[in-house]
Amino acid sequence: MKIALITDQHLGARENSTIILEHQRVFYDNVFFPYLIEHDIKVVVGLGDFWEKRKNTNNYIADQAKRMFFDRLKEHNIYHYMLVGNHDAPFKHTLFPNTPDTLLAEYDNIHVISYPQTISIDGFNVAMIPWICQENYDHCYEVIKNSPAITCMGHFEISGFKKYMNDYSIENTAISHANKILNKYNISDLKFESIEDIDAFIDEIDF
């Protein structure tokens, strides 16, 4: 089974710039959805930070996000796992409330992942880790260390790597058992062979 990965779309970037939004629309119209349709991909995993603004959401941006992304996923019967990133929640110590939960409850094909958990995609277990903060730190550690999954996808920082800046990062020894780590931060150049950089708009995994 093939799934598509997409991350850090940051809708509302550059102070809700409509110019940036139109570039994103072109990407969805000309690249992303044609690719999904051509390859019959029915599962999309978003690795966090769909939104840019943590503390407010522009109504026009929210409306256009639904029209050009979420409505089209629904139209094509595509299921969407959506991790909550640090830009998707207004507070630093908790992921609640968050923008995906607040704005996307109408979609029955969207599974917002606002707490760490193991999911099954076509029988393949994946540990899903949202942004790690004070409130969920222990729970994230528990899921990472005890999940039966050999693949972990997340929106978090790993202690000791060069983009490490968060008080609630994960120690790299805690994830050493995983065969593959798919994370939004660009840490693949540090020769930690189990970690892959998904710091791009789209990537594809074949399970």
Res 153 pLDDT > 50: yes
Q: Which of 24-28, 116-120, 158-162, 164-168 has the lowest mean pLDDT?
A: 164-168
Q: Which of 94-103, 151-160, 189-198 has the lowest mean pLDDT?
A: 189-198
In the three-class reduction of DSSP (H, G, I as helix; E, B as strand; rest coil), residue 160 is classed as coil
Question: Which range in 65-79, 135-149, 164-178, 185-199 is most confidently predicted, on average pLDDT?
Answer: 65-79
pLDDT computed for residue 19 by the predictor: 97
Q: Nearest Cα to 89, choosing from 129, 132, 59, 127?
A: 132
What span, in angstroms and rounded, lies between the C-alpha atoms of 67 and 183? Answer: 27
| Contact partners, residue 8, CB within 8 Å, separation at least 6 | 47, 48, 49, 85, 184, 199, 201
pLDDT computed for residue 158 by the predictor: 75
| Amino acid at site 1 | M
pLDDT computed for residue 156 by the predictor: 84
Q: Nearest Cα to 184, choosing from 194, 175, 196, 192?
A: 196
What confidence tens digit (pLDDT) does each residue in 24-57 have? 999 999 999 999 999 999 999 999 999 999 999 9
pLDDT computed for residue 200 by the predictor: 44
Determine the distance from the C-alpha atom of residue 53 to the mean position of all C-alpha atoms in its chain, rounded to a whole number.
16
CATH of domain 2-206: 3.60.21.10
